[in-house]
Chains A and B, each alone.
Chain A
């Protein structure tokens, strides 16, 4: 299945749109669990996005230039006695993509696209 140039998969679109919402609420940076929880909450679902699906999508968005990431300051993690986070932020291109992206994937039947959205 080929990705149409400029198109985002449903999960990728959801990540960008949710990042825009978080930014409007004052949260400029987010980590994987954070965005997965917010996406599930907005879609009124009881299941978070799968680990592999989520982090692959975040990596793809970063490669496409729609997100940037950085490793959290290790001192903050050490102080809170928890693993360090990788923090993502939406770029200007990402914000534009969240508003204008189509969510169709060339070659996918509507049923396959629905199943892909359900798994995301």
Chain B
């Protein structure tokens, strides 16, 4: 029950962050979402964390709602009146939902002994820690990574941009060890100078998403010219991990 409430609280933070960054410029939206996601990840895996429970997460969320809305208004001062009203209504609904979760976490949850947080070297989330890897043959040093395979397309009739810098996504060793395979699909925005300014997950495999995003964000393309001027592209990237070619 305690774990479920914590997951609900984490989900509330993510949902609220998506809501108040909705329809902002991709760079701003992505940057804020990544910051909050990193904060959530760090706090849940820090063995010396001050508070990791659902109530602590929700208090941090609710106390920051006015600043989230203020930041949002600063980023886009020209929002239309009806959009502001819609945002205000959605904010109220999100706050009420968070309050309900907070109340249920205090009323329904009997006091439990403190459970120490998982050690930093534990496996993904709540999976047990994997056995230590066997020593490399020949006593070789360093870590050898496997990599995923990627491809990309551009929707519509535009010619796909030419990639000049490719970075293959690292297949996370922990995912490879647990034989977690699959295809992550991302939608990435390439700006006029050929750099990837944002990437969002369209089809998610939780442990592999970050590896795909981290690689794609480092790609660089030749600027494409349309009508004499550079243009932005939105590309769909497929990142396959642990699958044979063509799968």
Give the interface of A toward B (CB within 8 A). 31-34, 36-37, 40-41, 45-56, 59, 74-75, 77-79, 81-86, 119
B37, B42, B65 interface centre (most CB from chain A within 10 Å): B42
From A31, A32, A56, A119, B63 is in contact (CB under 8 Å) with A119
B56 x A47 contact (CB < 8 A): yes
Interface bin, chain B:
35 or more
A82: which B residues are within 8 A, CB to CB?
38, 41-42, 45, 210
Given contacts A52-B65, A83-B38, whether A78 and B51 have CB atoms under 8 Å apart is no
Q: List, sorted by A's number, 16 A–B pairs whose CB atoms are closer than 8 Å.
A: A33-B39, A46-B51, A47-B50, A47-B56, A50-B61, A51-B17, A52-B65, A52-B66, A56-B64, A56-B71, A81-B175, A81-B211, A82-B42, A83-B34, A85-B38, A119-B63
B51: which A residues are within 8 A, CB to CB?
46-48
Give the interface of B toward A (CB within 8 A). 13, 17, 31-32, 34-39, 41-43, 45-46, 48-51, 56, 59-71, 124, 143, 145, 167, 169-170, 172-175, 207, 210-211, 213-215, 217-218
Q: Which 7 A-B pairs have the closest CB atoms?
A: A52-B64, A50-B64, A74-B214, A52-B68, A50-B63, A52-B67, A33-B42
B214 x A78 contact (CB < 8 A): yes
A40 x B50 contact (CB < 8 A): yes
B64: which A residues are within 8 A, CB to CB?
49-54, 56
Nearest CB of B to A60, in Å:
9
Chain A contact residues, majority secondary structure: helix
Given A78-B169, A84-B210, A84-B213, 15 extra CB contacts under 8 A: A31-B42, A33-B38, A37-B46, A48-B51, A50-B63, A50-B64, A50-B67, A51-B17, A77-B210, A81-B174, A81-B210, A82-B42, A84-B38, A84-B214, A86-B31
From A32, A77, A79, A84, B39 is in contact (CB under 8 Å) with A32
A83: which B residues are within 8 A, CB to CB?
34, 37-38, 41, 210
Nearest CB of B to A43, in Å:
11
B34: which A residues are within 8 A, CB to CB?
83-84, 86
Find the A residue at minimum CB distance from B209.
Answer: A83
Nearest CB of B to A115, in Å:
11
**A88–B163 Cα gap in the complex (Å)?**
30
A31: which B residues are within 8 A, CB to CB?
38, 42
B50 x A41 contact (CB < 8 A): yes
A48: which B residues are within 8 A, CB to CB?
43, 50-51, 56, 60
